[in-house]
Amino acid sequence: KFHVDVVPILVYGTTKYAAKCTPDENMWIESDPGKLTRWFNSKTDTEPTFRAQYLLMKRFAQMNGIKIPSIAIQKITSDAYVFKDSGSRYLRELLDMCRTALQNLNDPSYKLTNPVNDQEDIRKRIKDGELYRYKELIQNVIRSIERFSTNGSYADVVALFGDKFPVKESHERELS
């Protein structure tokens, strides 16, 4: 299933506005999708595994039926992202990022703002209960990676990432 977002954009002077239509109100809000694209591309250009971590977190949410805007996942991942070095283990980076993301989301002072418009609180875009479900998902990802690091069970990897990749005879212990 695919969907395409088509958002009417109004340019007034040098400022771009997007239509915001909800059951409660219709209005124009300041918006620049190109600015968000440039922000995201700059992150992926300078932070080697950011795109993969973001895509995994987005995929985990989709696989679990969690309806959270992509911009929220981008911001949460960006704020928690850590790149150690090119010799670092990917699961270790993902584990560290998830731990930091969960810590951020549980911190009442954490600001989940639009990365290109710090006046916009992205939490307002998230439906009731979905952020809680997303935090539970992150906790489950953490538990799955920790279990894998302890016993290296292929079943834990399949539970986390799905079964759409080939089974290998030996599995490297990622977190060792």
H-helix or E-strand containing 120? strand 117-121
pTM for this prediction: 0.74
Coil, helix or strand at residue 36? helix
> pLDDT digit string (tens) for 101-157?
999 999 999 999 999 888 889 998 899 899 999 999 999 989 888 877 666 555 666
pLDDT given for residue 174 in this prediction: 43
Taken in order 43, 46, 51, 136, is the CA torsion positive or negative?
A: negative
> pLDDT digit string (tens) for 3-61?
556 777 888 888 888 777 766 777 777 777 788 889 989 988 888 788 888 888 998 89
Taken in order 163, 166, 170, 176, is the CA torsion positive or negative?
A: negative
Whose structure tokens read 């954490």?
110
Tokens representing residue 49 in the block: 């595994």
